[in-house]
A and B are shown apart, each in its own frame.
Chain A
């Protein structure tokens, strides 16, 4: 076994944290250790942590909270994952005043970049020493000094009241205008900008890539997103009660929403120390695996489509349809299962439904294997994705990649194994790892995962114990911190919750896996051929939004012409 036994390791970690200068160390829930550090010591503390744990320390996310009404300060909580010890370390630091400042951890852990900028945008916490202190979430023309997630900003307050205010004084658009950022000095000579996105009639979601190309080669890539940030955290904190939020959490994603509902419920259950009945945990795991299968099949379909192999796309989605039907029979809907409440699940999986699932698995496994095996033996497909979009193990580690994306770069991390939740503590999950670091590896990892999920569902159904579906509990204790992590189809999904009064949340911060994976895309794109951009962007399984239609602007002549990235991919790839 590569893992030390639980309590012994935990004791050692607590000792270490104290020795390294944490003011207080508490075990807030199973597998989560909260240490508080003064902001002057924060950087030294984390530097010492990195020295102590080295490679295995992964920056997962960072959560700011406006605790002024209750504690008179802002708090910043870094979530660090120690996957090999099955632990999450929460490092909390406080900052006082109305323009709080804390030292940035980005110079030490580059993966902290986005999360810190998010706290800066939404809460006005300044991160001293951040290498890239620019807006991430809010649009560029957002007024200075307006921080929507602060408690003194009402959730239903409109930023601008009249259309004239929206238009602005000089009629300049107040919201995002796709003004390209100039390329770095080193690549400026003779390169052209290809903006991909942010809007297109066929897009599911807007995102925006700036690709600087020299001929066919991408020399620099930038990403901007968050055009659809809608402030659901604020909505949940202000208006909703704990058992309404699961349905909101589920709507974070149209593909893997259930994993968000689970992560949220786990966070609240941990904060309130609610013991979920075992049968409910099994049902959650079964549905999570069903969701993973459907999500991966969907991804295979779109990936084949982007490779110009539309037959593959059709077949994959036909196979996926069986999964959707079964999900509908189990939960009442194809997507947005709506099965979770804090404390358990709402519907049972009885014998009849279980046999329905087994029948579906039978046919899906056969069809999927037959089809994918024959596709993966086609040279045209393999050559097209081999050694494309390489993300080295080192980069994956540095940028904090998670999920199948990280596993395709040789990092054997999987929340189901590293931080077992739901019923994964009762079964053995085998983690698919590949180390060729390219798009092919990402395909193969997902292939293995579909097969593994099918096996897992069978095992879970067989071992599912009888019992209650919902735990009994009274009102929530206020101001408790809870962490919920799940392995979404795209990777680690982390929800951090601070409970409030009156069965409400004080703070809720969901962090989806694509949040960290998207940050790796520019690294993968640089040095690649433009024609490979769509499949590279798609290989992390984000939305495919902008990949099929773009505008080319030649920087030297200023000529705009339209081109079709997808067609390029087909004809030149």
Chain B
């Protein structure tokens, strides 16, 4: 019996001493505002809607509200630019709701044809970089206009 009880002390000194968490711990997610392009992949994947997108015409805001976050790490998994990462941070108590919010504000690109804001400038540039030089211009056009232009060319080619 006494042997079964064990003799060593197991009580942690935490919070008086820091608590080590293992590699791969799923703690507070942080968005790198330099890398985020506002594509919305994370917003689509987020189960509890902790990540949301809102457009006000000039800007797109990616908002992360930790009060809803379940630390599943789906955002990190789906982000095409590794812009959102889960950290080892787990002490999240805050005295006001604003402290639980991270916002990334990105400038919108306006369509070169119709002038409608359709994606963030940063995302558009990334897309343009990935296209062959002769098609790059298409990235600066909104999806509706792009469709019209490409169908014009396709039609032209058929004729």
Q: Which residues of A contact B (CB under 8 A)?
A: 240, 243-245, 247-248, 251, 311, 315, 318, 321, 325, 328-329, 332-333, 336, 338, 346-347, 367, 370-371, 374-375
- The answer to whether residues A333 and B4 also contact, given A240-B47, A247-B47 and a CB cut-off of 8 A, is no
Nearest B residue to A240 via CB reads B47
| Contact A338 B4, beta carbon cutoff 8 Å | no
User: In the bound complex, how far is the Cα of B90 from the Cα of A516, in angstroms?
Assistant: 37
The smallest beta-carbon distance between A98 and chain B, in angstroms, is: 33
Q: Cβ of B70: which chain A residues have Cβ within 8 Å of it?
A: 247, 251, 336, 338
- The answer to whether residues A328 and B73 also contact, given A315-B4, A338-B26, A374-B4 and a CB cut-off of 8 A, is no
Within the complex, which residue of B6, B24, B45 is in contact with A332, where a contact is CB–CB below 8 Å? B24
Does B132 sit at the interface, judged by CB under 8 A? no
**Closest 8 pairs between A and B when the two form their complex, measured CB to CB:** A371-B4, A332-B26, A244-B47, A329-B22, A247-B47, A338-B72, A370-B4, A374-B1
| Contact A321 B4, beta carbon cutoff 8 Å | no
| Contact A328 B25, beta carbon cutoff 8 Å | yes
Nearest B residue to A332 via CB reads B26
Does B5 sit at the interface, judged by CB under 8 A? yes
Within the complex, which residue of B4, B21, B26, B74 is in contact with A367, where a contact is CB–CB below 8 Å? B4
Residues B71-87 near A (CB distance < 8 A): 71-74, 77, 86
Given A332-B25, A370-B3, 18 additional A-B pairs, CB 8 A: A240-B47, A243-B74, A244-B46, A247-B47, A247-B48, A247-B72, A248-B47, A315-B5, A328-B25, A332-B24, A332-B86, A333-B25, A338-B26, A338-B70, A338-B72, A367-B6, A370-B4, A374-B1
Nearest A residue to B26 via CB reads A332
Q: Cβ of B3: which chain A residues have Cβ within 8 Å of it?
A: 370
Does B10 sit at the interface, judged by CB under 8 A? yes
The smallest beta-carbon distance between B73 and chain A, in angstroms, is: 7
User: In the bound complex, how far is the Cα of B4 from the Cα of A374, in angstroms?
Assistant: 8
Q: Cβ of A240: which chain B residues have Cβ within 8 Å of it?
A: 47
Interface size class of B (residues with CB under 8 A): 20 to 34
User: In the bound complex, how far is the Cα of B68 from the Cα of A248, in angstroms?
Assistant: 13
| Contact A328 B47, beta carbon cutoff 8 Å | no
- The answer to whether residues A243 and B4 also contact, given A321-B10, A329-B24 and a CB cut-off of 8 A, is no
Nearest A residue to B77 via CB reads A346
Describe B's contact surface by its main secondary structure: loop
| Contact B6 A315, beta carbon cutoff 8 Å | yes
The smallest beta-carbon distance between A354 and chain B, in angstroms, is: 15
Nearest B residue to A333 via CB reads B26
Question: Which of A332, A370, A374 gathers the greatest number of chain B CB atoms within 10 Å?
Answer: A332
| Contact A332 B73, beta carbon cutoff 8 Å | yes
Q: Cβ of A245: which chain B residues have Cβ within 8 Å of it?
A: 47
User: In the bound complex, how far is the Cα of B5 from the Cα of A374, in angstroms?
Assistant: 10
Q: List 14 A-B contacts (CB under 8 A).
A: A244-B45, A244-B46, A244-B74, A247-B48, A247-B72, A247-B74, A315-B4, A318-B6, A328-B25, A332-B73, A336-B70, A338-B70, A367-B6, A375-B4
Question: Which of B4, B24, B25, B48 gathers the greatest number of chain A CB atoms within 10 Å?
Answer: B4
Q: Cβ of A336: which chain B residues have Cβ within 8 Å of it?
A: 70, 72
Question: Which of B1, B70, B72 gathers the greatest number of chain A CB atoms within 10 Å?
Answer: B72
The smallest beta-carbon distance between B75 and chain A, in angstroms, is: 12
Q: Cβ of B5: which chain A residues have Cβ within 8 Å of it?
A: 311, 315, 371
Question: Which of B25, B46, B86 gathers the greatest number of chain A CB atoms within 10 Å?
Answer: B25
- Hey, what's the 0/1 contact readout for B1-37 against A, CB within 8 Å counting as 1? 1011110001000000000011111100000000000
The smallest beta-carbon distance between A451 and chain B, in angstroms, is: 16
User: In the bound complex, how far is the Cα of B73 from the Cα of A346, in angstroms?
Assistant: 10
